[in-house]
Amino acid sequence: MNVILLGPPGAGKGTQAKRVAQAFGLKHLSSGDILRAERKAGTELGKKAQEFMDAGKLVPDDLVVSMMVAQIDGPDAGDGVLLDGFPRTRLQAEALDAKLAGVGKKIDRVVDLVVADDKVAGRLMGRRSCSKCGAVYHVEFNPPKAEGQCDNGCGELTIRPDDTEEVVRQRLETYHEQTAPLTAYYRDKALLREVDGAKTVDEVAVSVESACR
């Protein structure tokens, strides 16, 4: 079974992806993970991707999709894979389907974590990070013992540049622009399952696992 997990930034895709992958024995893949793996292995695809990255350019969709398919069709894919946040656009989805068909594979389920913009914005803007040890906190869900201070004694916590209100709103706007046609594409294929991502982590996990069956 090959599953795609969609959702806006801050929806909890990473957390849910790990749980679902473990529950179904799937290999958890993200485009970032794959880029690093292909580069580390020194594959032809990895070398091509490195050329673009070294030049400060985005890796082309076709190359990223090719790397995804290589992983999905690889010997260690096991019972299938879970793609975390990829594809991001309809064009990527169409290219992925075409290349998978070429190796006799397909996407079986697409689960979309639906969370209202205000809820997601609150999650992201409430994050605080330690620049020294990398610890991450949240003012509401996981606050530090002393306000604004790292529990590990590193000092003052900071707000990541991409967690400011202006940037968060822009990220959400971009997400909706790209994802609206993507979700419509999978809905037309009767693959899309929507899950309320605003519930607790455990409740969302149960719903996601149910949607994958």
Sorted by where each begins, the domain ranges of the chain are 3-115+172-212
Q: Provide the mean pLDDT of the chain.
A: 90
195 vs 210: CA distance, rounded Å: 10
**Can 189 be counted among the known catalytic residues?**
no
Instruction: Say whether 84 sits in a helix, a strand or coil.
Output: strand
pLDDT of residue 50: 86
Active-site position among 39, 160, 169, 187: 160
Active-site position among 19, 27, 128, 171: 171
**Which architecture characterizes domain 3-115+172-212 according to CATH?**
3-Layer(aba) Sandwich (3.40)
> Minimal CA–CA distance to 3: which of 78, 111, 77?
111
pLDDT of residue 180: 85
What pTM did the predictor assign? 0.82
End-to-end CA distance of the chain: 10
Which of the two residues, 36 and 121, has the higher pLDDT score? 121
Active-site position among 19, 27, 109, 127: 127
Active-site position among 13, 19, 99, 128: 13
Instruction: Say whether 24 sits in a helix, a strand or coil.
Output: helix
Cβ neighbours, 10 Å, residue 90: 17
**Can 169 be counted among the known catalytic residues?**
no
- What band does 210 get if pLDDT is binned at 50, 70 and 90? very high
- What band does 67 get if pLDDT is binned at 50, 70 and 90? confident
Active-site position among 88, 119, 169, 187: 88
Using the predicted structure, report yes or no on whether residue 77 has a pLDDT greater than 80.
no
**Can 90 be counted among the known catalytic residues?**
no
